[in-house]
Structure 1
Amino acid sequence: MTTIPLTARRPVSLPRPGTVLSLLVVGFVVVAAIAPWLLTGDSPTAIDLTATLRAPSLQHPFGTDDAGRDLLTRVIYGARESLGLGLGATALAFAFAIGLGFTAALAGGVVDAAITRVLEVAFAFPSLLLALLVIAVRGPSLATSIVAVGIGSAPGYARMIRGQVLAVRQAGFIEAATALGHGRLTVIRRHLFPNAMRPLVAVATLGVGQSIVWASALSFLGLGVAPPSSEWGALLDAGRLHITTSWWLEILPGVVIVLVALSVTSLGRTLQHRLGGAAR
């Protein structure tokens, strides 16, 4: 019977407590977004004027708002819009970024120089300012928030994708595939694109948390999703009118936003480490 030397055995890598906690938080938010009725039996729009502005209690863990609606229920139902904003904005940003980044890196010359200059100018503006410009043109709404945050995030992602494509393009396996007679489109589809995008999967995960925060900030400023929506930023916007008397309307949704953003960021960092990508 052959025994494996102790030196040959690979240690089992257990997930860190922070990673486990982040998974639990993100899992809870996903369940809330897909099936909120599994977490609460109340309605987010049920008005009870006899229970307005009640402090957190066993009956209402997050308290109630000025219409007597249970705040925890509204936070749970708001997860769908907030998570949808984060995912939609990040997907849109990467769609723009992939098109610009790959075009600049593969075309080279004047095209690369022109796209790079445009990206540098766009990147010089604060991302939130670009989002505000989009909202000023289209008007506030859920769809506009997704477009605004996506466009605001795209220049930074495009620069990373361009740099990644240029680095992978010079790799030996790309030259080998070309030498073997594979067509340009085949090399891009089978070799260049997967290897260039692999380290950016973690960056996209980080972007979801960032997009949730930005979308919430726009709603808080009254430029995103408008009440009576239960999107988390809209809850902050509605609660600021009572912040001096009913602190839970502002603090507790804010804590949820921060906790979810930190959890998504933590998972993104873990994924980045697993994939061997450097932090950007």
Structure 2
Amino acid sequence: MTAQTSTMRTPTQQALRRFWKSSSGKAGLAIVLGLIILALIAPIVAPYDASRDRNLRERLEAPSLEHPMGTDELGRDMLIRVWHGTRISLRVGVVAVGIAVVVGTVLGLVAGYFGGRLDMVISWLVDIMLAFPSILLAIAIVAVIGPGIFNAMLAVGIVQIPIYIRLTRSVVLSLKEQEFATAAEALGASKSRILFRHILPNGLSPLIVQSTLSIATAILDAAGLGFLGLGAQPPDPEWGLMIARGFNYFSTAPWISLFPGLAIMIAVLGFNLLGDGLRDALDPRASR
């Protein structure tokens, strides 16, 4: 009876069951949900205006009951700034990965399905982009279009596009010869319908896993750009920017850089653990 019940489960139910068996997946989900909740309630529980926040009488105070994470060089409460920095970092990660997923998936579908010279040109461009370290390419893009949080999101999204082109292309190459795709083509379905209604839904699992892992990379890259002064600009409470501002005070006030760095570590760890759990759930063969 148990074996029969197991075989009657839908693929979604089986994936959920495997996910809840994954300790790393559950830990990552808890961390990510915690970050999302903190980001959502921040403007409600602790409204914050970075342009007016300064109190020089309390500058460089060590962590205390009044300021659990201390204050920075302008007397700003680090707990409030790190808390509101969660909103910026999550937005950067989601928007940047969204750009990469949309553009990379479309180009990967086209390259994998149609092949020929179009596939050759797209693969050639991908190889060129992958020849450069992602953070260096992001720095070059921001240097051309100018610093700012939106430009940082755009740059981080662009450097991740080749990942999704390659991943989607490989999925299409393995699925377009399957029976369901050839049957749809024999029935007269248009190429766009075959791609977006048949092939893409059957290849979403690796894209979902990669998207989760890419958010962690995007948060790191955006923090790196902020540290270099190419991402978020003062007085925005962005984690990488806060680390950079505390660099000159590290010997006397290390908490200015320490707590934003811990926030980056927790966010990256959460998305990586969640990605590992999703990989085990959606592709059990990968965990063997």
Is TM (by shorter chain) over 0.5? yes
Calculate percent identity across the aligned residue pairs.
34
Q: What CA deviation, in whole Å up to 9, does each residue of 1:38-86 have, x standing for no partner?
A: 5546765532222111111222111111111110100111111111111
The counterpart of 1:96, out of the listed 76, 93, 103, is 103
1:133: how far off?
A: 1.3
Give the direction of change, closer, same or farther, for the CA distance of 1:159–1:19 in structure 2 (3 Å limit).
closer
1:122 matches 2:134:
no
| Matched residue, 1:249 | 256
1:198: how far off?
A: 3.0
Secondary structure of 1:55's match? coil
* Cα separation, 1, equivalents of 2:116 and 2:105: 18
Q: What CA deviation, in whole Å up to 9, does each residue of 1:113-157 have, x standing for no partner?
A: 111111111111111121111111111001110111111111122
| Matched residue, 2:119 | 112
The counterpart of 1:266, out of the listed 259, 270, 273, is 273
Contact 1:89 1:146 in 2 (8 A): yes
* Cα separation, 2, equivalents of 1:76 and 1:194: 37
Moved more, 202-211 or 20-29: 20-29
The counterpart of 2:159, out of the listed 134, 152, 170, is 152
Give the direction of change, closer, same or farther, for the CA distance of 1:135–1:72 in structure 2 (3 Å limit).
same
Moved more, 211-220 or 156-165: 156-165
1:36 matches 2:49:
no
Give the direction of change, closer, same or farther, for the CA distance of 1:62–1:133 in structure 2 (3 Å limit).
same
Give, as a single letter, the amino acid of the residue that structure 1 aligns with 2:185. Answer: T
| Matched residue, 2:235 | 228
1:28: how far off?
A: 2.3
The counterpart of 1:26, out of the listed 32, 35, 39, is 32
| Matched residue, 2:87 | 80
Moved more, 132-141 or 197-206: 197-206
1:197: how far off?
A: 2.7
> Normalized against structure 1, the TM-score is what?
0.90
> How many residues end up aligned between the 2 structures?
275
1:54 matches 2:61:
yes
Give, as a single letter, the amino acid of the residue that structure 1 aligns with 2:209. Answer: A
Indicate the structure whose relative CO is greater, using CA pairs within 8 Å and at least 6 residues apart. 2
* Cα separation, 1, equivalents of 2:48 and 2:102: 38
Give the direction of change, closer, same or farther, for the CA distance of 1:97–1:239 in structure 2 (3 Å limit).
same
Structure 2, unaligned runs of 5 or more: 7-13
